[in-house]
A and B are shown apart, each in its own frame.
Chain A
């Protein structure tokens, strides 16, 4: 976990933040200006300043912007959740998708979609819209439940970093198998919706999704000053942390809850976008060295940037059949993960 540079000086940090801010602005601009629908730059600017044709307005304001905002929020959620998980489990490879949280959210979303089909489909099509609004909430509940189950399972013999990770892997594998089984057994009517969601996608995300995520983003970021000091101590062994006066178990649980809530809400809104929570914190720590607060800040900014750029790449590369962001992150994340896995352990 230790980066090559021990401590960044103040001016280096300032430059890095400035460079990243520029990158963030650039990727945001690219995400707004580029897309499958070819809209001239002047028209985009017109829309952004309040005029423009109605067609351009609807593409920018109702399709691209909500999608970008949802992506930014989800990126922040995944990367921050990964950072918190990695810190408290002292496992540099912790990630919501490796710890069972994503699979828990996946299972509950699947159950939710299937149940609404069975309850509401016969004879009525108005109520079938229910899932779209409640889907993220279902994902949130499932992810939190999975996180709680893993916590309880690992807790019996003390909060060992190894055990909590292995329990995450086990619970995740079981939940995933059950989810796939349910889709196969009952999914016929909704397979495509579930699959689209399952591959982790920002396709057709609306302002509703962004609004669903926003309270969690705000709450998660607001918790940071509260958990900041405990988080620094949670990097150490429990006895060491306790000797600094840390209520280890309580703080561990608190950070775990924040992390699960961030990850689970994001999975609920955009599906399991894998490896963002794993890779971004590493990147941030690499850039920030041992500057804890800088690495935390970079994690948040980089999470937003990477999801924005990944989604843009998926939109442009796939053209009509766009490549879901979850596939993009999996393809780029895995080689990095494997290299890290071999290096760090």
Chain B
């Protein structure tokens, strides 16, 4: 795809996301008609529909947009950095690394202001990712190593999280809903809280697209082109974890978005790392927004957590990748 086609594709996806946001305004326990939604959007009137749209549905959908874009960019950067198509915040343990310490803080240090949660998430995500990368030799060993390393760290943190939940008792219900990944009840303040982190991640990835692109080559070739690996590898890893640190405290773990969005973006074959990042972000936003709409419309009046929907949408992508044999299967034996 040329740059023009890529920008057109991004434009289309953004429009589709806006449509999904719009749809999100209409769907819910109390359906709202299109005319009403437009009317209260343009002129809030303090009636029930207006309050529903402005304080519940709009901030929620926009939080989903930002969260999806952040997760997708994180997945893109991780996949490029490791040259491993299976890398994603969930598989590499970044998400559970961010989530588990936040749960622990919530339970054991309740007086700690949630403002600090993204920093805790960043530290935890980085720690977990570092272990996974150490185990899988920078993520560039066999895909199996990365997947097993990440999954086992997730299992480890998951066991501890479950135990902490068990200790908390009645409080655990709300924590669990958060742990399932979702946007129910997210407000403007949640959005404002998440936004600096996702914007830093997305803009940072776009700004550093040349460096990120160099990681697609081998380490050797990247070093030959003058890239200081010792400096840039950790920096790019931090960049990959930043959006997750913003999304995790607000939405919990939303599975497989970081895996699926970059793959769909690459299927469109845009030219240049920047376009791939842009397309990934737009697709991530679209996927999560649509998943959020599905999550609250399939089981009215109840809601499903978005994490279920994205897992059901993204899991097949993962399996398709394995089946397609898109992996570096060097050394594989039958």
Chain A interface residues toward B at CB < 8 A: 90-91, 93, 97-98, 153-154, 156-163, 165-167, 169-174, 177-178, 180-188, 191-192, 195-196, 198-200, 237-238, 274-275, 321, 323-324, 326-327, 330-331, 333-334, 337-338, 341-342, 345
Contact = CB atoms under 8 A, between A and B. Distances in A.
Interface in B7-60: none
Contacts, number: 183
Contact of B334 (A158, A167, A180): A158
A160 B312 contact: no
B180 A181 contact: yes
A97 B158 CA distance: 12
B211 interface: no
A334 B128 CA distance: 12
Contacts of B255: 173-174, 177
A167 B319 contact: yes
B144 A166 contact: yes
Contacts of A333: 156
Given A166-B143, A184-B179, A237 B311 contact: no
B312 A163 contact: no
A171 B323 CA distance: 13
A330 B160 contact: yes
Interface in B160-219: 160, 162-163, 165-167, 169, 172-173, 176-182
Contacts of B165: 195
Given A177-B307, A198-B162, A321-B167, A170 B319 contact: yes
Interface of A, secondary structure class, is helix
A171 B147 contact: no
Chain A CB within 10 A, most for which of B148, B176, B177: B148
Contacts of A338: 131, 134-135, 149, 152-153
B172 A192 contact: yes
Given A157-B325, A166-B322, A185 B180 contact: yes
Contacts of B300: none
Contacts of A93: 148
A92 B91 CA distance: 20
A148 B171 CA distance: 37
Contact of A341 (B149, B160, B307, B319): B149
A251 to B, nearest CB: 15
Contact of A170 (B141, B302, B312, B315): B315
Contacts of B178: 184
B151 interface: yes
- The 10 A-B residue pairs whose C-beta atoms are closest, nearest first, are A181-B308, A177-B311, A174-B315, A184-B180, A330-B159, A334-B156, A184-B177, A199-B162, A181-B305, A170-B318
B142 interface: yes
Given A338-B131, A342-B135, A327 B311 contact: no
B334 A327 contact: no
14 contacts: A162-B332, A163-B332, A169-B147, A170-B315, A170-B322, A177-B311, A180-B305, A185-B299, A195-B162, A196-B166, A274-B159, A334-B152, A338-B131, A338-B135
Given A184-B177, A187-B173, A341 B159 contact: no
Contacts of A178: 308, 311-312
Contact of A98 (B143, B152, B302, B325): B152
Chain A CB within 10 A, most for which of B176, B318, B323: B176
Nearest to A237: B333
Contacts of A182: 308
B115 to A, nearest CB: 25
A237 B151 CA distance: 26
Contacts of A187: 173, 176
B329 interface: yes
A161 B176 contact: no
A180 B333 contact: no
